[in-house]
Amino acid sequence: MLHARIFTSAIRQFAAWLLALAASVLLAVPAMAQAPAPADPLIGSDNIAVTLHAEGAPVEGKEWLLALHFVPKGPEWHGYWSNPGDAGAGMVLALDLPPDWEVGEPRYPVPKRLVVSGLMNHVYEGPYTVLVPVTPGPSVKSFTGPVGGTVDYLACTDQICVPQFARLSASPGGDFARWRAGAAPLLDARAAFAISGKTLRLAIPLPEGMGLSDPHVFVANKQLISYSAAQIFRRKGDALVAEIPLDEFGTGKAESVSGILSFGDGSGVRFAADLGTVPTGGEQVAGPKNTATPPWWTLVLGALFGGLLLNIMPCVFPILSLKAIALARAGESEAKARAEGLAYTAGVVLACIALGGLLLALRAAGEQVGWAFQLQQPGVVVGLLVLAAAITANFAGLFELPSLSINGGGEKTGAFMTGLLAAFVATPCTGPFMAAALGAALLLPVPQALLLFALLGLGLALPFLLLGFVPPLRRMLPKPGAWMERFRRIMAIPMGLTALALVWLTVQLGGRSFGIIALVLVFGVLLGLFVVGKLQRSGKMAWPAFGLLAAPFLAFALIALPNVYQTKAGEARESILASQTFSEQALVDARGSGKPVFLYFTADWCVTCKVNEASSIERESTRAAFEKAGVITIVGDWTRRDAGITQFLTGQGAAGVPLYLWYAPGAQRPEQLPQVLTPDLLAEKASGGR
């Protein structure tokens, strides 16, 4: 329901695309049927205008340059390189030239990377010029000109693409000096390439002393590489070695490879590579850090200890505490304690495997998602809010739920469902031990990855499992008594705080009106549970009454929530630091300034992130140290799904947030800081970064 608008918008965009395509065909047919007399050069190119220019007069046997100058009508429109990437279309140029004239390969400026809905696009933003070399033949002596032709291309925004068509007639003159300087120059020396397993390896000749802020290879060969995959760069003398994963569904073969190497600052070079020897080794200067997975035993321990630490989360600890106390009830048998421990563990492990499997499936389908992706969905957060409110009401004694009861018998089904619940609400963040394990899980084969997710669940369930199987541990628990009921009511406080935090998160995700409607739904559910409690205490049938009372509120929420949902993408986060919003270009510009750069990724639903921000980042001492050292702060907000951020996190070997990176001036690679920051760590880094 929450995505109804997105679906409707997509249908409208597709219809608009079809209409635009039909219009361009209708415009093109009569134009092609006419004589090749010069026509308006902007026919059918309203979104990105194009004009054709010629440099001087053509001379037989000498290179003569034509220039296609593209000008978008607004900053939201972009055009495409010859290889557009995962989506889009390159231009198709047809020139009306004598048959003895030769047309060379068009020369493009260095393109930019643009990720839209997980798809990597190779684009040009703002005006750009494509140079077309022509070598005239003997017929140039009788050529009277001007040169004409047609060009088909695509103009897109982040929301819609419109096919463009223009009939061209070359006009003399133009800023050819600037246009030549803007085109990526061709390297004099040939590059070499090799295909090793599932990786394309390139050796591009480049002086060893040349600086690279954020290199990227745009490969002209189609269906060869994975465009969105992270690229690794190493220095080996005067060769820059690039390693690029192949397209899983591509050809996997090439007789030659060509493209553009972007240096990261808007400049770059064209290269052509032949099959040959590509050197190995060398110093890594860009790309994902530690692409080789850590030893398996460290991943296993990381998953286990990481899951164990999740038990101290405020939304898990009350559930675990009450289930533990339930095992201390008088008359509890060994068999029943073990059965509950196994059932709870099965629920936790199954939930972690299911979440991990869904994450891997979505990534395999091309979605840019990471750990805790479910909390980026407003509907899921609303459901968790209702659930947290219901658990709080249960702990407070408003009604009885057998699976969380400390007075009734321990049901295996209840323990299993409690395990599912505990795992689902405990997964928003990656802890200190989990980071490497979950990051590796995204790179490992599916069976090994699922095993790591299962071990994470085992770590989460371990305390309760040990209580079920180790009687001395149960005997360490306090003796049953009236205090147990009071303890349950006290545990309503942290669960209530969790519910309040989810209210805040709901507002952050969908806006104030969205949060109010969610609270109306919570009120309806609590009203129904209040009646359930009354009926339970009088010994009457209770749950049908809950359905009658809660159903109208649920129906109202299902209708109202999608209509009041508001996205707030692009809004800057409030901070005492002078921070910028993350983008690849913002990072490149900051690193090119020669100042230290602190880049961190956070989310409103990440408990670890919020603790670090309160204790280490949003501090006056940090602000003063950053100002003194001139540190540039960049923040990536992952509260909502953001394909660009997800791709960057994956490139750094991280499955989720928090992630803290420190770029020292002139350093080729960032230093990854701990996931738990000490109060003075950032101030100390700034002092050493001047």
Query: Residue 16: what pLDDT?
Result: 40
**Would the pLDDT of 25 be above 50?**
no
Give the 3-state secondary structure of residue 486: helix
Beta carbons of 394 and 404 less than 8 angstroms apart? yes
Q: Which of residues 313 and 446 earns the better pLDDT score?
A: 446
Is the four-CA dihedral 51, 57, 60, 64 of positive or negative sign? Answer: negative
Query: Residue 644: what pLDDT?
Result: 80
| pLDDT confidence bin for 601, thresholds 50/70/90 | very high
> What are 155-195's pLDDT values in tens digits?
999 888 999 999 999 998 899 999 999 999 999 999 999 99
Cα Rg of the chain (Å, integer): 31
Query: Residue 46: what pLDDT?
Result: 85
To which H or E segment does residue 268 belong? Answer: strand 268-275
Give the residue-averaged pLDDT of 95-109: 95
**Would the pLDDT of 20 be above 60?**
no
Lookup: tokens for 646: 């997800």
**Would the pLDDT of 676 be above 60?**
yes
Query: Residue 567: what pLDDT?
Result: 67
Question: HSE (CB half, 13 Å, CA atoms) of 474?
Answer: 25
Give the residue-averaged pLDDT of 64-72: 96
Q: How far apart are the first and last CA of the chain?
A: 52
Query: Residue 12: what pLDDT?
Result: 41
Beta carbons of 62 and 135 less than 8 angstroms apart? yes
Lowest mean pLDDT among 376-390, 560-574, 622-636: 560-574
**Would the pLDDT of 413 be above 80?**
no
pLDDT above 70: percentage of residues in the chain? 86
- Taking alpha carbons only, the member of 159, 85, 502, 451 closest to residue 299 is 451
Give the residue-averaged pLDDT of 275-279: 92
Query: Residue 96: what pLDDT?
Result: 93
Q: How far apart, in whole angstroms, are the C-alpha atoms of residue 344 and residue 413?
A: 9
Lowest mean pLDDT among 57-66, 205-214, 347-356, 529-538: 205-214
**Would the pLDDT of 402 be above 90?**
no
> What are 116-131's pLDDT values in tens digits?
777 889 999 999 999 9
- Taking alpha carbons only, the member of 260, 263, 259 closest to residue 214 is 263
Does the pTM exceed 0.85?
A: no
- 531-540: Cβ within 8 A, 24+ apart: 532/399, 533/397, 533/398, 533/399, 533/400, 536/399, 536/400
Domains belonging to the chain, first-starting first, are 4-182 (2.60.40.1250), 191-286 (2.60.40), 296-373+401-485 (no CATH), 579-688 (3.40.30.10)
Q: What is the rounded average pLDDT for all residues in the chain? A: 83
Q: How far apart, in whole angstroms, are the C-alpha atoms of residue 387 and residue 396?
A: 14
Query: Residue 572: what pLDDT?
Result: 58
Give the 3-state secondary structure of residue 16: helix
Query: Residue 418: what pLDDT?
Result: 80
| pLDDT confidence bin for 201, thresholds 50/70/90 | very high
Q: How far apart, in whole angstroms, are the C-alpha atoms of residue 401 and residue 44?
A: 66
